[in-house]
């Protein structure tokens, strides 16, 4: 099998990531079928992808014609057999649960052609956790997107049983859909960027939970030295404080580290109040105009 043999991409799960990945593949000329178990989700996904196309047109990234052509390449269904029967490449974005992912891949292994390559967009799991359940472990790897609106970086993480030929095809496919592949040489929960960013967030949480400095000053320190537009607390607001808390709490319980337990409690207070970050309009900052994005934020500590 070569890259040229991939014509139809099946996206399993029409949520936040399924929409972005589906649209990105369609923009690059692939026929895309999006499958979800929830009918209502397909309607939402259709609206969100139209909105996404609109923002790409507004920013000059696509023209009316190219955006329209991409949307026309996308079809959606809740019928698994119809969705999978002609798939050459599968990208799975169902919720982060290894049992569910395993069940979904086993279901589509029965439906999809034998040559189809299966990939998972998992954020925190590793592919060997459900490689056997796919029924085609040698044609399976993690293929992890970030937010395609802001970055082209993509992780490719094979498990020990993935065939080198399949890794090569996935790498070529990543380039074909305009992404910049980062190839992991070994399985690592959290890939490369996520592994680094979670350490940064952990340090920022400890500084705030121990009342070493204010949330704003912690972000100022990072932004002022690294010359970035956002600091760790702004980043956690954009990921979603609930999501970050879940990861923090999970690891705090596994490693039984008192500082991580304290960090989880610090984050939980925000979750309990419903202050989940950008998506709820309030987190460590208030939105849509967070203080850190205002001109002069880094220098403004001198004003207090
Ligand atoms: N949100 C992010 O920023 C992000 C980034 C990278 C990777 N991921 C990963 O991508 C995956 C999906 O995340 P998301 O944020 O898009 O989730 P989401 O909750 O927005 O979407 C999940 C979708 O899967 C559907 N679904 C549930 N069970 C299904 C089944 N059996 N078959 C088909 N569809 C089913 C749901 O109806 C929903 O539409 C997760 O593994 C997550 O860790 C998320």
The alpha carbon of 16 and the centre of ligand 1 are apart by a number of angstroms equal to 7
State the virtual CA torsion across 81, 86, 89, 95 in degrees, nearest 10. Answer: -20
Sign, CA dihedral 264-267-268-271, equals negative
Percent share of the chain, pLDDT over 90: 90
Percent helix, strand, coil in the chain (nearest 5)?
Answer: 55, 15, 30
Q: Which of 155, 165, 161, 163 is nearest to 188 (CA)?
A: 155
Q: Is 94 in the pocket of ligand 1 (CB under 6 A)?
A: yes
Average pLDDT for the chain? 96
Q: What is the pTM of this model?
A: 0.88
Q: Is 17 in the pocket of ligand 1 (CB under 6 A)?
A: yes
Q: Is 52 in the pocket of ligand 1 (CB under 6 A)?
A: no
Q: For residues 191 and 189, give the distance between their C-alpha atoms in angstroms, rounded to a whole number.
A: 6
Backbone torsions φ then ψ of 14, nearest 5 degrees: -100, 25
Percent share of the chain, pLDDT over 70: 99
Q: Is 102 in the pocket of ligand 1 (CB under 6 A)?
A: no
Sign, CA dihedral 219-220-226-229, equals positive
* Spatial contact of 283 and 276, defined as CB atoms under 8 Å apart: yes
Q: Is 38 in the pocket of ligand 1 (CB under 6 A)?
A: yes
If pLDDT is split at 50, 70 and 90, which confidence band does 304 have?
low
Helix (H, G, I), strand (E, B) or coil at 13: coil
Arithmetic mean of pLDDT, 32-51: 96
The alpha carbon of 91 and the centre of ligand 1 are apart by a number of angstroms equal to 11
Q: Is 104 in the pocket of ligand 1 (CB under 6 A)?
A: yes
Residue from 45, 94, 127 to probe ligand 1 pocket by mutation (most atoms less than 8 Å from CB): 94
Q: For residue 296, what are the CA distances in angstroms to 43, 220, 224, 303?
A: 42, 10, 11, 11
Arithmetic mean of pLDDT, 95-100: 90
* Closest CA to ligand 1's atom 37: 38
The alpha carbon of 96 and the centre of ligand 1 are apart by a number of angstroms equal to 7
Give per-residue pLDDT as tens, 60-76. 999 999 999 999 999 99
β strands within 102-163, DSSP E = 117-120, 140-145, 153-158
Residue from 93, 127, 152 to probe ligand 1 pocket by mutation (most atoms less than 8 Å from CB): 93
Helix (H, G, I), strand (E, B) or coil at 17: helix
Q: Which atom of ligand 1 is nearest to the CA of 41?
A: 39
Element counts in the chain: helices (H) and strands (E): 11, 8
Q: Is 67 in the pocket of ligand 1 (CB under 6 A)?
A: no
* Spatial contact of 157 and 187, defined as CB atoms under 8 Å apart: yes
Give per-residue pLDDT as tens, 143-156. 999 989 889 999 99
Residue 10's H or E segment, with its range, is strand 8-12
Give per-residue pLDDT as tens, 227-282. 999 999 999 998 889 989 988 998 899 889 999 999 999 999 999 999 999 989 99
Token pair belonging to 105 = 């891949």
Arithmetic mean of pLDDT, 95-123: 96
Domains in the chain with CATH codes: 3-183 (3.40.50.720), 194-297 (1.10.1040.10)
Arithmetic mean of pLDDT, 48-58: 96
């Amino acid at each position: 099998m070569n890259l040229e043999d991939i014509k139809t991409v099946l996206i399993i799960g029409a949520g936040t990531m399924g929409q972005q990945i589906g649209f990105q593949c369609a923009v690059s000329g692939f026929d895309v079928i999006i499958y979800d178990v929830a009918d209502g989700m397909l309607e939402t996904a259709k609206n969100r992808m139209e909105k996404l196309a609109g923002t790409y047109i507004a920013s000059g990234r696509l023209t009316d014609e190219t955006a329209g052509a991409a949307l026309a390449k996308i079809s959606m269904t809740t019928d698994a057999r119809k969705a999978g029967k002609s798939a050459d490449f599968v990208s799975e974005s169902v919720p982060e649960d290894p049992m569910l992912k395993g069940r979904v891949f086993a279901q589509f292994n029965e439906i999809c052609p034998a040559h189809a390559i299966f990939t998972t967009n998992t954020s925190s799991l590793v592919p060997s956790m459900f490689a056997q359940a796919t029924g085609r472990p040698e044609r399976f790897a993690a293929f992890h997107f970030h937010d395609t609106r802001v970055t082209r970086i993509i992780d490719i993480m094979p498990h020990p049983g993935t065939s080198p030929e399949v890794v090569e095809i996935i790498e070529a496919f990543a380039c074909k859909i305009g992404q910049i592949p980062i190839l992991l040489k070994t399985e690592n929960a959290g890939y490369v960027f996520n592994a680094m960013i979670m350490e940064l967030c952990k340090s920022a949480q400890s500084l705030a939970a121990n009342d070493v400095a204010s949330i704003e000053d912690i972000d100022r320190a990072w932004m002022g030295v690294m010359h970035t537009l956002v600091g760790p607390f702004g980043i956690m607001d954009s990921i979603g404080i609930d999501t970050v808390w879940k990861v923090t709490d999970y690891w705090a319980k596994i490693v039984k580290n008192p500082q991580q337990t304290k960090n989880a409690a610090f984050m939980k207070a925000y979750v309990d109040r419903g202050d989940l970050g950008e998506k709820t309009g309030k987190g460590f900052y208030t939105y849509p105009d967070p203080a850190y994005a205002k001109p002069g934020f880094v220098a403004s500590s001198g004003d207090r």
